[in-house]
Amino acid sequence: MPTTVSTESLSPAERADFWHETVSRAFMPLQVELLERNPSVGVISSEQLGSVQISRVAAGPQSVSRNRRTIAMGGEGWVAVAMQHRGCARVSQDGRQITLGPGEFVVSESGRPFTKEFPDAFEFTAFRLPRAALHVHDADLKAATATVFAPGSGSADVVAAYLRQLASQAAQLDPYTGSRLADTAIDLLALLIQERSGTLTPAAPESAPAMLARIKDYALRHLGDPSLSPEQIAGAHHISVRYLHKLFQSEETTVARWIQRRRLEMCARDLSRRASASPTVSSVARRWGFVSPAHFSRVFRSAYGATPREWRARANGG
């Protein structure tokens, strides 16, 4: 369930201090300056999906900054993606300053100073995630902060669409599914950062993140198909099998192993669920594309250290 905090019940005179405390508690220690004599109502609604916090923010004109003093107070291990919905924002970090409009998004890093100015009433969605989860070099991240990711730029469109959908469905997702989808969002953002810095390999920067995102989405939607294979995936995306394998080199795995891992995760999730009429182990295996019960049991035990039946018994207190 989302957690919502609003200043609506407070008088304008009380809103400034309360909003400063609320913003800093929701994200990280920040310096907040409201630009209205009688501050408008501010609302923050947050949802946690795994390691990613998704927050919808709406408020009146203000300036938010992160400086040496607030950095010393903590919160230096975060990266934030802010997707603008209404109003504009002037964002500066790492020697760059940009103006962000509706439909665009920007990346900020909490370990270095930044400033965000909102001259008018605004609304945006923020995705806060651990810096360490991105597994990108500092130089790559610095090249991506305070730069505009705009509609029509290929891979940025794919990432933006995924983030919007994730935010809209967050309240309906169970913890396991939400965590896995959040991990995919982190993977996509890492690819986008590498693309922006020019260090993404092996494909051309303008196509690799978008292609890999579409491939993962396709594979997840077809996990239940036993015939899902690198050849099928490559054909569906009009690329060679060789190029498909090269895309997955950045994942430090093969296509087949990535598919098997996702299938096993879905089976483990289903076997952990409590239900009055639980499906059989073999039916769960078939649902997620495993044809041979013996093969399924063997790879499941290799991955989780227990047979599917033992896993189910443990999950249900047996």
Domain of residue 18, CATH code: 2.60.120.10
Asked if residue 187 belongs to a domain, the reply is no
Question: Among residues 3, 10, 8, 108, which one has the least CA distance to residue 59?
Answer: 8
Amino acid identity, position 158: V
Asked if residue 226 belongs to a domain, the reply is no
pLDDT of the residue at 191: 86
Q: pLDDT of 124-173, one tens digit each? A: 999 999 999 998 889 899 999 999 998 877 788 889 999 999 999 998 88
Q: Read off the pTM.
A: 0.66
Q: Percent of the chain, pLDDT > 70?
A: 95
User: CA 269 to CA 220: how far, in whole Å?
Assistant: 15
Asked if residue 138 belongs to a domain, the reply is yes
Asked if residue 277 belongs to a domain, the reply is no
Q: Is the pLDDT of residue 229 over 80?
A: yes
Asked if residue 121 belongs to a domain, the reply is yes
Asked if residue 134 belongs to a domain, the reply is yes
Q: pLDDT of 87-114, one tens digit each? A: 999 999 999 999 999 999 999 999 999 9
Asked if residue 115 belongs to a domain, the reply is yes
pLDDT of the residue at 204: 42
User: CA 196 to CA 139: how far, in whole Å?
Assistant: 11
Asked if residue 60 belongs to a domain, the reply is yes
Which domain range does residue 67 map to? Answer: 3-150
Q: Is the pLDDT of residue 223 over 80?
A: yes
pLDDT of the residue at 286: 94
User: CA 66 to CA 113: how far, in whole Å?
Assistant: 5
Most confident range, picked from 78-92, 177-191, 220-234: 78-92
Give how many domains the chain has, as a whole number. 1
